[in-house]
Amino acid sequence: MRKFIVPFAFAAAFALFAAGCSGVKAGTYSASEKGFGGEVTVSLTLDASGKITEAVIAAPNETPNIGGAAAEKLARSIVSSQTIALDGVSGATLTSKAVFSAAEAALKKSGAKLAAYKKSVAKSGADEELTVDVVVAGAGGSGTAAALAASEAGLRVLILEKLSNYGGNSRLASGFFAVDSKLQRAKGMRLSEDVAVHRLLEFNQYLSNGPLTRAIVYKAADTIDWLTGYGMTFHLQEKTTQFAHEGDAYEAFCYHKYDNSTQGFDNLYANLKKMGAELRTNTRLTEIIQNTDGTVTGVKAEKEDGGVLTVRAKSVVIATGGFGGDVERVRRELKTPYLNFIGMPSMGEGLDAMLKAGAKDWDATPLLHACQLAESTVAKESSSEQLAGYSSSALTWLLQSPLLWVDGQGSRFANEDVVYDTAFWANAAYAAGGRYFIVTDQATLDSYTNGDTLRLSYSGPGPSKEGGNLTELAELAVQGKTAWKGNTLSELASAAGFDEKGFASSVDRYNTMVSQRNDTDYGKSAKSLRFGVSQGPFYAFDCRAVFLGTIGGVKVDEHLRVLDVEHYKPIPGLFAAGTSAGGYYAGRGYPPYEGLACGFAWTSGRIAGESAASYAKSAK
Ligand SMILES: Cc1cc2nc3c(=O)[nH]c(=O)nc-3n(C[C@H](O)[C@H](O)[C@H](O)COP(=O)(O)OP(=O)(O)OC[C@H]3O[C@@H](n4cnc5c(N)ncnc54)[C@H](O)[C@@H]3O)c2cc1C
Q: What are residue 221's phi and psi, to 5 degrees?
A: -65, -40
In the β-sheet with 296-302, what is the strand arrangement from edge to edge?
Answer: 128-131, 308-312, 296-302, 284-290
Query: Which residues are within 8 A (CB) of 533 and not within 5 positions of it... i.e. 6 or more apart?
Result: 404, 439, 440, 441, 444, 489, 507, 510, 511
User: For strand 39-46 and strand 27-34, is the pairing parallel, antiparallel, or unpaired?
Assistant: antiparallel
Query: Which residues are within 8 A (CB) of 108 and not within 5 positions of it... i.e. 6 or more apart?
Result: 114
553-609 per-position pLDDT tens digit: 999 999 999 999 788 899 999 999 999 999 999 877 778 888 999 999 999 999 999
pLDDT number for residue 15: 36
pLDDT number for residue 180: 96
Question: pLDDT band at 239, cuts 50/70/90?
Answer: confident
* 174, 320, 580: residue to mutate for ligand 1 pocket, most atoms within 8 A of CB: 320
What's the gap in Å between 170 CA and the centre of ligand 1? 5
Q: In sequence order, what DSSP letters do the residues of 374-438 get, joined into one string? A: SS-------HHHHHTT----TTHHHHTS--EEE-TTS-B-S-GGGGGSHHHHHHHHHHTTSEEEE
pLDDT number for residue 81: 85
pLDDT number for residue 164: 86
Residue 394 amino acid letter:
A
Residues enclosing ligand 1, CB less than 6 A? 137-143, 160-163, 168-170, 172-175, 284-285, 319-321, 342-344, 346, 349-350, 387-388, 548-549, 551, 578-579, 595-598, 601
Q: What are residue 572's phi and psi, to 5 degrees?
A: -55, 130
Least confident of 84-88, 217-221, 260-264, 407-411: 84-88
Least confident of 301-315, 465-479, 584-598: 584-598
| 165 secondary structure, DSSP code | S
Assess contact for 224 and 234: CB atoms under 8 A.
Answer: yes
229 burial (CB, 10 Å; 0-12 / 13-18 / 19+) is exposed
Looking at residues 452-465, what average pLDDT do you find?
Answer: 69
What's the gap in Å between 321 CA and the centre of ligand 1? 6
Assess contact for 250 and 196: CB atoms under 8 A.
Answer: yes
Q: What are residue 14's phi and psi, to 5 degrees?
A: -60, -45
pLDDT number for residue 344: 82
Higher pLDDT: 86 or 570? It is 570
What's the gap in Å between 363 CA and the centre of ligand 1? 17
What's the gap in Å between 185 CA and the centre of ligand 1? 29
Question: pLDDT band at 460, cuts 50/70/90?
Answer: low
- Which structural domains are found in the chain, ordered by start? 3-117 (3.90.1010.20), 128-364+552-618 (3.50.50.60), 367-547 (3.90.700.10)
- Inform me whether the pLDDT recorded for 224 exceeds 90: yes
What's the gap in Å between 134 CA and the centre of ligand 1? 21
d(CA 2, CA 382): 12
pLDDT number for residue 455: 78
Distances (CA, A) of 352 to 148, 170, 327, 355, 357: 25, 21, 16, 5, 9
Q: Ligand 1, closest atom to CA 138?
A: 34
Residue 106 amino acid letter:
A
d(CA 40, CA 103): 10
d(CA 556, CA 208): 11
Three-class SS state of 160:
strand
pLDDT number for residue 63: 67
What's the gap in Å between 597 CA and the centre of ligand 1? 9
Q: Ligand 1, closest atom to CA 461?
A: 1
pLDDT number for residue 284: 95
Continuous segment of H or E residues that includes residue 297: strand 296-302
pLDDT number for residue 24: 85
Q: Ligand 1, closest atom to CA 601?
A: 23
Residue nearest to atom 27 of ligand 1 (CA): 321
Give bridge partners of residue 406 from the DSSP assignment: 412, 437
What's the gap in Å between 484 CA and the centre of ligand 1? 36
Higher pLDDT: 317 or 304? It is 317
Assess contact for 488 and 409: CB atoms under 8 A.
Answer: no
Q: Ligand 1, closest atom to CA 176?
A: 11
Q: Ligand 1, closest atom to CA 286?
A: 41
Q: Distance of alpha carbon 469 from its chain centroid, rounded? A: 31
Three-class SS state of 202:
helix
- Inform me whether the pLDDT recorded for 373 exceeds 80: yes
Assess contact for 554 and 351: CB atoms under 8 A.
Answer: yes
Residue nearest to atom 4 of ligand 1 (CA): 173
Q: In sequence order, what DSSP letters do the residues of 127-157 get, joined into one string? A: PEEEE-SEEEE--SHHHHHHHHHHHHTT--E
d(CA 201, CA 210): 7
* 93, 170, 384: residue to mutate for ligand 1 pocket, most atoms within 8 A of CB: 170
Residue nearest to atom 21 of ligand 1 (CA): 170
6-39 per-position pLDDT tens digit: 444 333 343 334 334 457 888 899 888 887 767 7
pLDDT number for residue 14: 36
What's the gap in Å between 418 CA and the centre of ligand 1? 26
pLDDT number for residue 386: 46
Q: Ligand 1, closest atom to CA 342?
A: 53
* 158, 346, 556: residue to mutate for ligand 1 pocket, most atoms within 8 A of CB: 346
d(CA 187, CA 424): 29
Cis peptide before 537 (omega within 30 of 0): yes
What's the gap in Å between 524 CA and the centre of ligand 1? 35
Query: What does the angle CA 358 – CA 359 – CA 363 come to, to the nearest 5 degrees?
Result: 155
Query: What does the angle CA 413 – CA 417 – CA 422 come to, to the nearest 5 degrees?
Result: 95
What's the gap in Å between 140 CA and the centre of ligand 1? 6
pLDDT number for residue 393: 77
Of 278, 288, 294, 293, whose CA–CA distance to 312 is shortest? 288
> Which sign does the torsion angle of CA 174, 207, 607, 347 carry?
negative
Give bridge partners of residue 485 from the DSSP assignment: 539
Looking at residues 177-197, what average pLDDT do you find?
Answer: 95
Give bridge partners of residue 372 from the DSSP assignment: 544
- Inform me whether the pLDDT recorded for 378 exceeds 50: no
What's the gap in Å between 187 CA and the centre of ligand 1? 30
Residue nearest to atom 14 of ligand 1 (CA): 173
Q: Ligand 1, closest atom to CA 301?
A: 42
- Rounded to the nearest integer, the mean pLDDT of the chain is 88
Assess contact for 614 and 392: CB atoms under 8 A.
Answer: no
d(CA 236, CA 258): 9
What's the gap in Å between 141 CA and the centre of ligand 1? 7
What's the gap in Å between 262 CA and the centre of ligand 1? 14
535-558 per-position pLDDT tens digit: 999 999 999 998 888 999 999 999
Three-class SS state of 246:
coil
Query: Which residues are within 8 A (CB) of 553 and not within 5 positions of it... i.e. 6 or more apart?
Result: 322, 351, 361, 362, 363, 364, 576, 578, 579, 580, 581, 582
> Can you say whether residue 8 is alpha, beta or left, with left for phi > 0 and alpha for psi between -120 and 50 degrees?
beta
- Inform me whether the pLDDT recorded for 139 exceeds 80: yes
What's the gap in Å between 26 CA and the centre of ligand 1? 46
- Inform me whether the pLDDT recorded for 91 exceeds 90: no
Residue nearest to atom 6 of ligand 1 (CA): 173
Three-class SS state of 561:
strand
* 66, 148, 169, 560: residue to mutate for ligand 1 pocket, most atoms within 8 A of CB: 169
Share of the chain above pLDDT 70, in %: 90
Higher pLDDT: 462 or 238? It is 238
What's the gap in Å between 478 CA and the centre of ligand 1? 35
Of 328, 315, 314, 324, whose CA–CA distance to 344 is shortest? 324
Q: Ligand 1, closest atom to CA 578?
A: 26
**Torsion from C-alpha of 169, 174, 177, 178, nearest 10 degrees:** 110
Residue nearest to atom 7 of ligand 1 (CA): 173
Residue nearest to atom 13 of ligand 1 (CA): 173
Of 59, 57, 51, 58, whose CA–CA distance to 74 is shortest? 57
Higher pLDDT: 23 or 225? It is 225
Q: Ligand 1, closest atom to CA 577?
A: 26
> Which sign does the torsion angle of CA 381, 383, 385, 390 carry?
positive
Query: Which residues are within 8 A (CB) of 332 and not within 5 positions of it... i.e. 6 or more apart?
Result: none
What's the gap in Å between 32 CA and the centre of ligand 1? 31
